[in-house]
Amino acid sequence: MTRNVGTVDRFLRALLGIVLLYLAFASGLPAFEAGALKWIAAVVGVVMLVVAAVRVCPIYAIFGIRTCPVA
């Protein structure tokens, strides 16, 4: 697949992924102690980190969005 995630988008996704994983597993907030919210935050956090690493977003590909310069 062609890259469609730019540098700023990549940085923001990585930051969001780290924050969500922190909230899910290390924050100690009551909302994230147990239940679905903890696991939703964890899954979304991992997805954000994977997309940031590979620089390909399937949703962007579906809608034809690119945040990186055309090579």
What's 68's DSSP letter? Answer: S
Give residue 71's pLDDT. Answer: 60
pLDDT one digit per residue (tens) for the chain, 71 residues: 789 999 999 999 999 999 999 999 999 889 888 889 999 999 999 999 999 999 999 999 999 999 998 76
* 4 contacts 57 by C-beta, under 8 angstroms: yes
